[in-house]
Amino acid sequence: MKKINFNAGPCILPREVIEKTAQQILDFNGSGLSLAEISHRAKDFQPVVDEAVALIKELLNIPEGYSVLFLGGGASLEFCMVPYNFLEKKAGYLNTGVWAKKAMKEAKLFGEVVEVATSADKNFSYIPKGFEVPEDLDYLHVTSNNTIYGTEMRYDLDTKVRLIGDMSSDFLSRPVDVAKYDMIYGGAQKNLSMAGVTFVIVKDDALGKVTRQIPTMLDYRTHVSKGSMFNTPPVVPIYTALENLRWVKAQGGVEAMAKIAKERADLLYGEIDRNKLFRATVQDAEDRSYMNICFVLNDEYADLQQEFFDYATSKGMVGIKGHRDVGGFRASCYNAQTVEGVQALVDVMKEFEANH
Ligand SMILES: *Cc1c(COP(=O)(O)O)cnc(C)c1O
């Protein structure tokens, strides 16, 4: 039976991206060596990084003056590197859930942290709006898509202070006005590649403004000056990212990704709203994530939790168990998720409803 991968991360990737990576792992560019065996300084590998960087710049229409980096450590290391490199006195964080809180925790090691707004009062089921951003912040940090709670900001804030975005789980799913940000980052394993590489888009002239000493590996300037080749980068995940970027471009770029994301989301939220058994945990349509769609059983059907999970699993649905902080179900619909895949889940929900 065909499996449909709704995992929140590592996530579904286009089959052809996996196949092309697999071929290169067996024989890189006909060299007789595996991609896993070659030096990152091999003359054939530099073009891989160069093309991946160029494609990110092209797909997101990144203005001059920004560097694109591939680092290790995951988005979680960025939680520490961001304040290391940008926090002199005070930073603001929009607290929209677990990942934002983890980012705040690290920032507190470096200076004062202001929670500019939070949606904690309703278990992070909405995006705070209409909050004031103090003008004396070194930066404001936002999480564009909250993977665990299924909320998303599909817009780029206008701020007078530097804006830094964790875009781990909605990267390349919509056009982004990069000029509004001084930095965008994320772990690749949600929407860009396999686990093991972290992407960073950073405005060059925003760096070097803090007075503290920064360890070499944690200083973005090290990686900007060496084109992500200061030390051995994660070669295979970078290659997979390249193939995925080529795929995104071939599909029509981020505009096409945004269109299909809305199509998938309309289909699944439509069914959740219609089906008597289920309800969405995020009510405001504007705040509903197109990437991670969270739903629970209505109270009168709450005892069907395991039964629905088993039924959906028996029909090939993978990874739909909700995060423990939200419960219920979460269907992650990243770029490579097809409308047919989502339709299959919708069909399962309809059948299950008919049986109850
Ligand atoms: C998964 C996730 C992270 C953590 O990413 P790692 O690469 O595992 O460190 C951070 N932020 C968001 C929004 C995420 O979804």
CA atoms lying within 13 Å on the CB side of residue 6: 30
Is there an atom of ligand 1 within 6 Å of 93 CB? Answer: no
What share of the chain has pLDDT > 90, as a percent?
Answer: 98
Nearest CA to ligand 1 atom 4: 75
CB-based contact 326:148 (threshold 8 Å): yes
Is there an atom of ligand 1 within 6 Å of 237 CB? Answer: no
pLDDT attached to residue 41? 86
Residues 6+ apart with CB under 8 A from 171: 184, 186, 190, 191, 192, 199
Report whether pLDDT(129) > 90.
yes
CATH 3.40.640.10 in the chain, residues?
A: 15-251
Is there an atom of ligand 1 within 6 Å of 190 CB? Answer: yes
Calpha distance 155→144 (Å, rounded): 8
Question: Residue 27 C-alpha to ligand 1 middle, in angstroms?
Answer: 32
**Which strand (E) or helix (H) includes residue 46?**
helix 46-59
DSSP-assigned letters across all residues of 51-62: HHHHHHHHHTTP
CATH 3.90.1150.10 in the chain, residues?
A: 253-355
CB-based contact 296:329 (threshold 8 Å): yes
pLDDT attached to residue 42? 83
Is there an atom of ligand 1 within 6 Å of 95 CB? Answer: no
Question: Which one, of 19, 7, 16, 60, lies nearest residue 199 by Cα?
Answer: 60
Is there an atom of ligand 1 within 6 Å of 292 CB? Answer: no
Helix (H, G, I), strand (E, B) or coil at 78: helix
CB-based contact 3:318 (threshold 8 Å): yes
Report whether pLDDT(1) > 90.
no
Mean pLDDT confidence for 115-129: 98
**Which strand (E) or helix (H) includes residue 31?**
none
Q: Is 0.95 topped by the overall pTM?
A: yes
Q: Which atom of ligand 1 is nearest to the CA of 189?
A: 7
What share of the chain has pLDDT > 70, as a percent?
Answer: 100
Question: Residue 315 C-alpha to ligand 1 middle, in angstroms?
Answer: 29
Count how many residues are written for the chain. Answer: 356
Give me the CATH code for the 253-355 domain, please.
Answer: 3.90.1150.10
Q: Binning pLDDT at 50, 70 and 90, where does residue 334 land?
A: very high
Looking at every residue in the chain, the average pLDDT score rounds to 97
Is there an atom of ligand 1 within 6 Å of 96 CB? Answer: no
Report whether pLDDT(79) > 90.
yes
CATH of 15-251, one of 3.30.9.10, 1.20.810.10, 3.40.640.10, 3.50.50.60: 3.40.640.10
Tokens of 284: 């405001």
Question: Residue 188 C-alpha to ligand 1 middle, in angstroms?
Answer: 9
Residues 6+ apart with CB under 8 A from 270: none
Question: Residue 198 C-alpha to ligand 1 middle, in angstroms?
Answer: 10
Calpha distance 169→160 (Å, rounded): 25
Calpha distance 88→61 (Å, rounded): 30
In tens, the pLDDT along 307-319 reads 999 999 999 999 9
Question: Which one, of 70, 89, 91, lies nearest residue 202 by Cα?
Answer: 70
Active-site residue numbers? 99, 166, 190
pLDDT attached to residue 29? 94
Among 166, 194, 198, which is best to mutate for testing ligand 1, by the most ligand atoms less than 8 A from CB?
A: 166
Q: Binning pLDDT at 50, 70 and 90, where does residue 162 land?
A: very high
Is there an atom of ligand 1 within 6 Å of 330 CB? Answer: no
Report whether pLDDT(206) > 90.
yes
Question: Residue 318 C-alpha to ligand 1 middle, in angstroms?
Answer: 20
In tens, the pLDDT along 163-201 reads 999 999 999 999 999 999 999 999 999 999 999 999 999
CA atoms lying within 13 Å on the CB side of residue 180: 13
Mean pLDDT confidence for 86-99: 98
DSSP label at 33?
S
